[in-house]
Amino acid sequence: MPLDSEVDFSSNELSEYVLLVDLSELSPQDMVRKSMLLNSIKMLNVFGKTSEAIQEIKIWQGLLVGGIIGFFSGLIGIGGGIILSPVILLFHWGKMKEAAAVSALFIWVNSAAGLTGQFANGIVLNNQSFLMVGLAVFGGFLGSYYGSKKMSNQSVRYMLVVVLIAASVKLLFV
């Protein structure tokens, strides 16, 4: 299907174009990176504004999407929220602040699973690791406060776009 003016990128036809990419030649990092870039562009409404109505998520959809994101997150070593937030927003399963809250829990669960796996393999944390964990907890509480109380959904959305672009650029060098 050639790219022309007949395609409505604000509809589900966008996902059809994404599926036309030959996935056999892409690494998991490339798939995630390209997905994050596409989601960033879509979140900026470049393809046109879409409906803001929240769609009810079916339990099987949540389990399927969560399992796929969890698998890829574990495969490339990230928490997964950077993938989950755009999915929640693009499928209209929640608003920005809801996506941030769900993603924070998802990241925590995936990170705890990864850390458990590392401990099972005999990793030992040094003292500096505990300082970083403490700073991350402090930063997380501070960011949660500002994101939920002080910033609008639109501002948080733009911040997510910046983070998605930065993460996808970082994946170029992994």
Give the Å distances, CA to CA, from 9 to 49, 61, 110, 139: 10, 23, 32, 37
Residue-wise pLDDT tens digits, 148-160: 888 888 888 788 8
Domain edges within the chain = 36-172
All residues at 6 or more sequence positions from 117 whose CB lies less than 8 Å from its CB, including other chains: none
DSSP symbol at 20: T
pTM of the model: 0.61
Per-residue pLDDT, 24: 58
pLDDT band (50, 70, 90) for residue 37: confident
Nearest Cα neighbor of 164 from 48, 47, 71, 32 is 32
- What sign has the CA pseudo-torsion 56, 152, 112, 168? positive
Per-residue pLDDT, 23: 52
Per-residue pLDDT, 138: 94
Q: Residue range 21-39: average pLDDT?
A: 67
- Residue 129 above 80 pLDDT? yes
CA distance 146 to 163: 16
- Residue 47 above 70 pLDDT? no
79 or 104, which is more confident: 104
- Residue 4 above 60 pLDDT? no
172 or 121, which is more confident: 121
Residue-wise pLDDT tens digits, 56-96: 888 998 899 888 888 887 777 777 777 888 888 888 888 87
- Residue 25 above 70 pLDDT? no
For 33-96, the DSSP string reads HHHHHHHHHHHTTTT-----PPPPPPHHHHHHHHHHHHHHHHHHT--SHHHHHHHHHHTTSS-H
pLDDT band (50, 70, 90) for residue 143: confident
CA distance 54 to 116: 35
